[in-house]
Amino acid sequence: MKTTFRFIAAMSFLLFALSFQIIKTQINITIRNETGNTEPGVTVQLFATEEDYNTEKNVVAEGVTDDKGYLKIKDLKNISYYVIARKGDKDNSGGGEQTGKLEANKLNKVTIVIQ
């Protein structure tokens, strides 16, 4: 009886521990400027639909790139997102406005150029 209880307790703990190790869908965005250098301090917004992107409403997630020009956003759906990246008078209009469909439960990577 004690052996069965210990086995069940051990399995429960293992399942509990594994549930926290599952990677959620996330994206690592690198922002580069027109010369190819990474760009810190860029505000990035993600939108789920083209309409929301065009009207700049219903932002799904947003953040600012770190000192190395990177931004990680977690807990996303595995869909394609529309992106606005801006810093001063520079932005990503004219290219890089949409990500590919994100792979579920993975760290997806994308590079966006602002000019």
Residue 30's CATH number: 2.60.40.10
On whether residue 60 sits in a domain, the answer given is: yes
> Is 9 a member of any domain?
no
Instruction: Please tell me the distance from the alpha carbon of residue 104 to that of residue 101, in angstroms, as a whole number.
Output: 9
- Residue 18, in any domain of the structure: no
- Using a cut of 0.85, tell me whether the model's pTM lies above it: no
Phi/psi for 16 (5° steps) reads -60, -45
Give the three-state DSSP class for 96.
Answer: coil
Amino acid identity of residue 12, one-letter, is S
Does residue 30 belong to any structural domain of this protein? yes
Residue 13 covered by a domain: no
User: What is the pLDDT at residue 23?
Assistant: 83
- What's the rounded Cα separation, in Å, for the pair 55 and 36? 29
Q: Could you tell me if residue 92 is inside a domain? A: yes
CB 40 within 8 Å of CB 67: yes
The count of structural domains within the chain is: 1
**Domain span including residue 65:** 23-113
pLDDT of amino acid 113: 97
Whether residue 49 is contained in a domain is answered as yes
**63, part of any domain:** yes
pLDDT tens series, the chain, 115 aa = 666 656 676 666 555 544 554 789 999 999 999 999 999 999 999 999 999 999 999 999 999 999 999 999 999 999 999 999 999 999 999 888 999 999 999 999 999 999 9
